[in-house]
Structures are given as C-alpha cells and as structure tokens.
Amino acid sequence: MDLVKVTREIRANGPKRVVINASGEATIPLRASREHGIVSVVVFLRNDGWTLGAPEHLRGCAQVMWADSWIAVMENFPEGVFKALTR
C-alpha cells in the first residue's frame, strides 16, 4: 500500500470513521465533530485500506479494535504522515 498516497487522501477526506466513546462506537467524522465534539488526532490504517480516527483519550480503544490488522498510524492528524507499524 502506498502510504504517501493514503496520507494525501486522509488529509483531504479524513478517516472513514471516528471512535466516539470507550465502548468503541464510531461514526463519520462530521457527525463525530458536530454531535459529540470529537476530533481525531490519530488515525489507524487497516490492511484493507479502511481507516479509523480517534481523539487522544480514545486512542487505546481504537488501537485494540483491529490490533492485528493495523498496518500504519498517523500521529498529529491532519498534519502527520502515516508510519508503518512493526510487529
């Protein structure tokens, strides 16, 4: 997967979903922001190209959801870049 290309796409469009609570519920970024006051600061990239954002206080929740499938993480969204995760 081309992390540079994916970084550009995520910077432009945001992640597919954003975690909004510790139970792992997620919604589209616009709804997360407008209805819940949640803004992503970290975005995880799954091996199939799907992305999940989270605010800092829900980072751990997002990280464990598909722990074996995450291939990269973007810190400091939207200014950051995706960095490959090593296992």
pLDDT score, position 1: 82
Block mean pLDDT (10 aa), the chain, length 87 = 90 96 97 97 96 98 96 94 87
pLDDT at residue 46, as a whole number: 96
Domain span including residue 65: 3-84
pLDDT at 42: 97
pLDDT at 86 (0 to 100): 80
**Res 87: pLDDT:** 66
Q: How many domains does the chain have?
A: 1
Residue where the block lists tokens 């975005």: 43
